[in-house]
Structure formats: structure tokens, C-alpha cells
Amino acid sequence: MTSTEVAETLEWSRGKLSRIENAQWQRPNPRDVQDLLDVYGISDAEQRNALITLARESRQQGWWIAYKDVLAGSYIDLEAEASVIRTFEPLVIPGLLQTADYAERTMQAALLRDPEEIPRRIALRMNRQSILTKDRHPAFHAIIDEAALIRPMGTVAIQCAQLQKLVEVGSLEHVTLQVMPLSLGMHPGLAGQFVILDFPDDPQIVYVETGTDGLYLEKLDEIARYTLVFQHLCSTALTPEASVAYLSDMISKLK
């Protein structure tokens, strides 16, 4: 079969099939492997199960594998492969936008069982932020509740540096930053933090962080619910321009 025939049979783009055949598939989808096996007439149950299992277990290892001793779950793998990242944070600054000093204070407050892990966790978090500045970057949209911004972050210098970083990153073309004012009162985001991850070829995933690990939600109704919540938050929060002005005003008042 030609690549065109396979793509048309599966109703895929030729680009998707080409990436698979050229080993550019960073996050193999077991369902896609199953569909390919059907098209290619692979009916042997043992062979099918072996290939589908291999697809399910295989992930391209990135630089973060060196930090596996302080990692929980596979979120960073997903974050690195996402084409769009949308996040809401009601209590803290999103990890991709934190300064090292701010990150250190959040970790100190988290009562980690081994405080000696903190330097490695900070290094991991700072390395993660490179996805926002590399050539192949995701579109990043963060909505931050004002409660996270007015919470004392340590010294005035640390707080000003963190707010200045938000202003700088918020000015990037592919980054959208919004502030949710406390004056708006109750809103659907009060249920907690969440991240919606979009991928070029794979289904969306919603990630909800917990105190020890995280939940990965993939059901259509769950994704639809969180997407609706994010859309509501987006429409009620300050505009990106007003949010940057708010942050700049905070810095001026602190100084």
C-alpha cells in the first residue's frame, strides 16, 4: 500500500503517517498502532498484543530522565510534547513561570520528606521552562488568581523579581497571561488547579496536580468540563494587556 492509500483508509493526514514511519513519533498512541495493524492485516494475537504494549510503554526520554529520582508521574513528558498548554492556578504561580527563588519557597512550604531534594527540584523546574523559548514551543495560556500574586513570597526583592518575570514572559508572542481579580468573587476555577494539554495528533489530556502525584483525565466529558471552565475564566479575567498593567503596577507599589 502507498502512504496515500493508508492515510486515506484511516482518514489521517499523510504528515501523521510520515512522522510515524520516520521515527518522529514521540508519544506513540496504542489506538493508532491498533488501527495500523488492522489495515496491514496483522491478525496474530500475540504479535498484536506485543506491538500495542510496546507503543503504550514507549516514550522518548528527554533531559528530565536525569531527575527521575524527584519526578512523580509522566507529566513532564506530556508537557514537552504538547502543542498548546492552558493552565489555571488559584494559589501559586505556574511552575513554567516561576523564578528560582520563588520555586524554592514553594518547595520549602511543601514539607518535602527530604529537604535535600530541593536544589534538584529547582533545577528541574528551571530546565522545564526552556520549552517556552525554544524554536518548537507550545502556545501557552495561563490564568492566575490574584490570591497567588498578593500572597507574600519572601523578601520584596523576590516578589518584585517574580512579578517582573511574569511581565517579561507575558510579552512573548506565544504566551497569554491573565489575572483573575479577587473582586470578581466566586468563579468555577475555585475547585482547584488544572492544566489542559493539546497534542498535534493525540487526544487532549487534563492534568490535575495532587499533593503527592497527579491525575490524568482523558474522558471526553471530563475534558469538555475543564475546557468550559477555562473558557469561562478566560472571558471573566483581566485581558492580557490589563493583566500586564496590573503586574507592573504591583511592582511599582512594592518598590
The answer to whether residues 148 and 250 belong to one domain is: yes
Find the angle CA(236)-CA(242)-CA(246) to the nearest 5 degrees: 110
Sign of CA dihedral 187, 110, 142, 214: negative
The answer to whether residues 41 and 84 belong to one domain is: no
Q: How far is CA 180 from CA 75, 88, 111, 247, 254, in A?
A: 25, 10, 28, 12, 20
The answer to whether residues 94 and 42 belong to one domain is: no
The answer to whether residues 43 and 144 belong to one domain is: no
Q: What local confidence, expressed as pLDDT, does residue 210 receive?
A: 79
The answer to whether residues 162 and 68 belong to one domain is: yes
CATH number, domain at 80?
Answer: 3.30.870
Total domains in the chain come to 2
The answer to whether residues 158 and 203 belong to one domain is: yes
The answer to whether residues 89 and 185 belong to one domain is: yes
Nearest-10 Cα torsion for 255, 243, 167, 229: 130
Residue 52: domain span:
3-57
The answer to whether residues 128 and 11 belong to one domain is: no
C-alpha 225/C-alpha 218 separation (Å) is 11
Q: What local confidence, expressed as pLDDT, does residue 138 receive?
A: 95
The answer to whether residues 98 and 160 belong to one domain is: yes
Determine the number of helices (DSSP H) and then strands (DSSP E) in the chain.
11, 6
The answer to whether residues 152 and 90 belong to one domain is: yes
- Three-class SS state of 177: strand
Q: What is the pLDDT along the chain (255 residues), one digit of tens a residue?
A: 998 899 899 988 777 788 788 776 766 778 889 999 999 999 999 999 989 888 877 755 566 556 655 555 568 878 888 899 999 999 999 999 999 999 999 999 988 878 888 999 999 999 999 999 988 899 999 999 999 999 998 899 999 999 999 999 999 999 999 999 999 999 999 999 999 999 887 778 899 987 767 788 888 899 999 999 999 999 999 999 999 999 999 999 998
Q: How far is CA 210 from CA 96, 213, 214, 224, in A?
A: 17, 5, 5, 21
Q: What local confidence, expressed as pLDDT, does residue 66 receive?
A: 60
C-alpha 205/C-alpha 226 separation (Å) is 10
